[in-house]
Amino acid sequence: MTTETVQIDIDSDFMRTPEKVMRLERMGSSFPTRLSFMRTLIRRMSKENWKFERTRREVDKDGYGISVYAVTTPNRTYSLIAFTQEIPADMRTDRVIAEVWDATFSLFDGVPSQEDIDYLADNTPKQEAGRYRPSELTLSRANKSLRVFKNVVDSLSAGNQPDKDLLTSVGYLMRTSAVYGSGKFGCADRDKISDREECKAPFQIELLTVYLIRWFTIDSAEELAKERGGEKAVKLDKTTRRFIGVGNATGLGMAPFLLKHPALIHNWVVAKETALARVRSIETPIEGTLKVFLKSLLQVSQHVDEWNVEDDIQSERISCLTDEIQALRLWCENEPNILRPYPWNGIYQYVEDNFSLECQEMVVSLIIEPHGALVDDLAETMSTTEIPKFKADMSLSELKEVVADSYQWATTIDFSLGESQHHFWYYSEDKLEPRFGSKGVDDGVEKEMPLAIGRDVHDLNEKLLETSNATSLSDFVMSYPQFRHIIRRIQNTFVRPYSEVQDNLLSETMRPLDLLRFKLAFFGASKFDPKSNLWTRISMYQGAPMPDQLSEPNHDCWSFPIGGRSQSYPCINCTCQKDI
């Protein structure tokens, strides 16, 4: 299905404008929705009854060795090959420049032979320094949260469940620090798999890898406990297993991707905004949905209560969010506020008028959540295969008009000010680690990545204004080839109004963290835990069903999970509604 076959009305009165949505501050307040890619994948796993099996476990008494976890879809099998090893504590880093990891993984396309496993045993533990083949779909690694992993293994081996508070505060046993796909280091190109049904939505194969890693972390801890505790050992209880996610540490690498794929980003945002617009345009609420929403406000209060971070800015936001959710609950308890036509629009509007961006975006997720039947088709519109083309037959006057209409946010920035061009993005020779530099402080400005969209549009606009409309575009780019890339970008983005971040990415006040959170929210990540303006930790699949729980009726109910509960608040689409 494409955007042409799913009903999308960008001009709907209920759509939020690109000028409102595509601003860094709001993007940096994003939360996952039911359209997030992990949610889409879990729904498919359940619907298609995917089979999961650990097919190999050859490890020593400390759990070091090789394991293989296979998943079989209706059409094929994928195998996660995991290599574990002991590493020195002081070499445990989440950075790209790391050299060793507790666990490393390759997702193999099919069932690996012994020869394949031997090849990967020589390469996967080296990560970026190894080489991979088109039979490998992803490459990944993870490090333990030592205190949680130890507590879980020690507790289970002694016949006890782990420390719930500790588990809730961290949320995972291991933290991934990269999941490479799409041809990285020789792995399969996306084109190899893009026609497969289970790979059509964005990042499905990468997120399948993470799901299997999550299973691996839990399985490994339980097996180690059994090894140490023998008959006394117990497994994690069902509720705890489901609550445990897998961590991730994310840095600057995600930001360039976001900026280099404007058509894709447009599709993501249009899908989410269309979902919101569809819900806001409901005159009479679908039976049960308001009740679900009100219940969800109670649950997110606890979710937010469990969301503890050290970062001062985010702590303050969370504190404010706590108060605002409470205030919203009180407002909703006053029935005339919600028992009226267009109640969802009323709720959204009230929140937008009165509360922080963090609260606004959380409420967007909450009001979309009970409306799966209304919005889930949009998940199928979030990919693109389009390669942007330069359109030489556009006239210069048309280009000038497009820049004036669609890029006012860029042409009005004063780039003569130092603060407007404070930063630059670059690749370090240190394992190609992406870094964010400051002009006048860091070396390498002449090698900056071409991500200065606003500045490039601004400079193009200056040149266009002094060029006659009689000049053809092909003549213009022959004279000024330095503008070819930005013209191509403009030609392909002005018809996709949600494709551009409408802020200056070089500004002194720019926080790459906002871009990271925006993208991670679309993945379905939660519990954003910023470690700086360039770096964040997150949880993935927290609350999601484990492989043996995928057939349960509440498999899709894991939005804003909370510790110690068997399920998330019920959605309107499944039988757990009766628990309301």
Partner 1 sequence: MSKRHLTISLNEVLFYFTRAAFGVNAPIGLSEDFARGNIWVSENGFDPSRCSLKALDNLDSKASSLSIKFEKTKDGGHLFCPEGKFLSSLEASSSCVDWIEVSNGSGALKISNVDSPFLVVSALGANGCLGIKVLWTDQEKNQFQVNLINNDDWEVLSSSSTLIELSSNADMLISPLTASDESNKGNIIKKFNLAEEKLKILHIGVKVEENWDAIYSYFSRCLVKSSAESRASGAGAGLVDTD
Using CA atoms in the order 89, 92, 98, 102, what is the torsion angle rounded to 10 degrees?
100
Which part of the chain contacts partner 1 (CB under 8 A), choosing from 78-86, 95-103, 113-121, 156-164? 95-103
Which residues from 1-40 bind partner 1, rule CB under 8 A? none
Element (H, E) at 530: strand 526-532
DSSP letters, 501-568, are --S-TTSTT--HHHHHHHHHHHHT-EEEEEEETTEEEEEESTTPPPGGGTTSTTTT--SS--TT-SS-
Identify the residue among 74, 341, 418, 450 touching partner 1 (CB under 8 A): 450
For residue 388, give every residue at least 6 positions away whose Cβ sits within 8 Å of its Cβ, in sequence order, or none.
262, 263, 488, 489, 491, 492
- Output the smallest distance, CB 89 to partner 1, in A: 5
Q: What's the CA gap between 514 and 511, in Å, rounded?
A: 6
Is 191 a binding residue for partner 1 by CB under 8 A? The answer is yes
Identify the residue among 21, 332, 486, 571 touching partner 1 (CB under 8 A): 486
Is 187 a binding residue for partner 1 by CB under 8 A? The answer is yes
Give the CA distances from residue 312 to residues 316, 319, 384, in Å, rounded to whole numbers and listed in that order: 6, 11, 38
Q: What's the CA gap between 83 and 11, in Å, rounded?
A: 51
Query: Between 368 and 387, how does the x/- string for binding to partner 1 read (CB under 8 A)?
Result: -------------------x
Is 443 a binding residue for partner 1 by CB under 8 A? The answer is yes
Tell which phi-psi region holds residue 577, choosing left (phi > 0), alpha (psi between -120 and 50) or beta: alpha
Pairing of the two strands 136-144 and 172-180: antiparallel
What is the rounded radius of gyration, in angstroms, for the C-alpha atoms of the chain?
A: 24
Is 557 a binding residue for partner 1 by CB under 8 A? The answer is no
Identify the residue among 294, 396, 477, 574 touching partner 1 (CB under 8 A): 477
Give the CA distances from residue 478 to residues 361, 396, 398, in Å, rounded to whole numbers and listed in that order: 45, 13, 18
- Nearest CA-CA partner of 10 in 254, 189, 274: 274
Cβ nearer to partner 1, comparing 46 with 533: 533
Which residues from 510-539 bind partner 1, rule CB under 8 A? 512, 531-535
Cβ nearer to partner 1, comparing 20 with 126: 126
Identify the residue among 484, 494, 553, 574 touching partner 1 (CB under 8 A): 484
Identify the residue among 392, 404, 417, 465 touching partner 1 (CB under 8 A): 392
Pairing of the two strands 77-84 and 136-144: unpaired
Which part of the chain contacts partner 1 (CB under 8 A), choosing from 38-46, 261-269, 273-281, 428-436? 428-436
Within 13 Å of residue 541, how many CA atoms lie on the same side as its CB? Answer: 33
Q: What's the CA gap between 154 and 221, in Å, rounded?
A: 9
Identify the residue among 259, 487, 510, 546 touching partner 1 (CB under 8 A): 487
- Output the smallest distance, CB 353 to partner 1, in A: 34
Identify the residue among 150, 184, 295, 565 touching partner 1 (CB under 8 A): 184
Phi, psi of 559 (to 5 degrees): -75, 135
Is 324 a binding residue for partner 1 by CB under 8 A? The answer is no
Is 344 a binding residue for partner 1 by CB under 8 A? The answer is no
Is 94 a binding residue for partner 1 by CB under 8 A? The answer is yes
How many chain residues are in contact with partner 1, going by CB under 8 A?
Answer: 74
Identify the residue among 50, 436, 558, 569 touching partner 1 (CB under 8 A): 436
Which residues from 241-270 bind partner 1, rule CB under 8 A? 249, 251-252
Identify the residue among 427, 439, 507, 566 touching partner 1 (CB under 8 A): 427
Do 135 and 186 meet the contact criterion of CB atoms below 8 Å apart? no
Identify the residue among 26, 54, 57, 192 touching partner 1 (CB under 8 A): 192
Is 389 a binding residue for partner 1 by CB under 8 A? The answer is yes
Identify the residue among 58, 115, 405, 429 touching partner 1 (CB under 8 A): 429
Residue type, 422: H
Which residues from 115-154 bind partner 1, rule CB under 8 A? 131, 133-134, 143, 145-147
